[in-house]
């Protein structure tokens, strides 16, 4: 009888251990099977670097106008322009099967109480497109002749967006801010 009274306790211990084992195994599998963190979260590091912004000794309206002129001088199409915001785009085709679209946004905000100093924020975004070919086929049946089918083949080409990236090279922004300052120096 004593032998049977120990058995239920042993069974409970084994069942509890098996339950913990299942939990540990499930947690391990979940950790191994989880999706990696988004690439943007891994590459993003907030800091005090001045890659995207500069203090400008001019009003926000003057700064954005100089930004507009800088974009126009480089062949950008100005999509929108106001005293606080300028946005322009430019298209590139490096080869026959790829296309790049560049979008630059300039935001100008006052930095002092008098509004004579502004802070200019510039962001460049590059969209990449690639040529994708799709073959299509159809058949033409002529009922007067019978079940004769004439195959018709065609292909269509379309540009498909394959990537979007914020430009992070400091030299790109240094060049833009240098050109912006050049247009500010030309003000009457």
148-166 and 77-81 beta bridge pairing: unpaired
Q: How many CB atoms lie within 10 A of CB 91?
A: 13
Confidence at 11, pLDDT banded by 50, 70, 90: very low
* Best CA proximity match to 150, nearest among 160, 163, 161, 137: 137
Output the average pLDDT for the chain: 79
Q: What is the CATH number of the domain that holds 91?
A: 3.30.530.50
How confident is the model over 44-55, as pLDDT tens digits?
677 777 889 999
CA angle 72, 73, 76 (to 5 degrees): 40
In a domain, 33, yes or no: no
Residue 163 pLDDT: 93
Distance (Å) of CA 17 to CA 11, 20, 22, 76, 151: 10, 5, 9, 68, 67
* The pLDDT value given to residue 48: 72
Q: What's the pLDDT tens digit per position in 33-44?
A: 444 555 556 666
Q: How far is CA 154 from CA 51, 134, 137, 138, 140, in A?
A: 49, 9, 6, 9, 14
In a domain, 13, yes or no: no
- From CA 179, how far away is CA 186, in angstroms rounded? 11
| % of the chain beyond a pLDDT of 90 | 51
Tell me 175's DSSP state.
H
Give domain status of residue 158, yes or no. Answer: no
Domain count, the chain: 1
Inside any domain, residue 80 = yes
pLDDT digits (tens, 9 = 90+) for 58-103: 999 999 999 999 999 999 999 999 999 999 999 999 898 899 999 9
Q: Hey, what are 167's tokens?
A: 């430009």
Both tokens of residue 28?
A: 């391990």
pLDDT score recorded for residue 3 = 44
Q: Is the dihedral of CA 90, 86, 126, 157 positive or negative?
A: negative
Residue range(s) defining the domain that contains residue 73: 50-129+163-185
123, 143 contact by CB (below 8 A): no
How many distinct helices (H) and strands (E) make up the chain?
4, 6
For residue 132, the model assigns a pLDDT of 86
């Amino acid at each position: 009888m004593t032998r049977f009274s120990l058995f239920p306790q042993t069974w409970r211990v084994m069942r509890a251990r098996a339950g913990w084992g299942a939990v540990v195994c499930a947690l391990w599998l979940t950790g191994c099977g989880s999706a990696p963190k988004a690439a943007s979260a891994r590459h993003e590091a907030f800091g005090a670097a001045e890659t995207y912004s500069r203090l400008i000794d001019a009003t926000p309206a003057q700064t954005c106008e100089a930004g507009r002129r800088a974009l126009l001088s480089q062949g950008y199409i100005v999509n929108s322009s106001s005293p606080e915001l300028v946005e322009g785009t430019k298209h590139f085709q490096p080869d026959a099967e790829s296309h790049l679209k560049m979008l630059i946004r300039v935001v100008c905000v006052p930095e002092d109480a008098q509004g004579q100093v502004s802070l200019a924020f510039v962001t460049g975004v590059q969209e990449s497109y690639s040529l994708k070919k799709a073959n299509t086929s159809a058949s033409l049946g002529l009922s007067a002749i019978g079940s004769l089918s004439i195959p018709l083949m065609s292909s269509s080409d379309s540009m498909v967006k394959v990537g979007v990236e914020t430009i992070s090279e400091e030299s790109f922004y240094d060049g833009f801010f240098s050109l912006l300052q050049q247009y500010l120096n030309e003000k009457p």
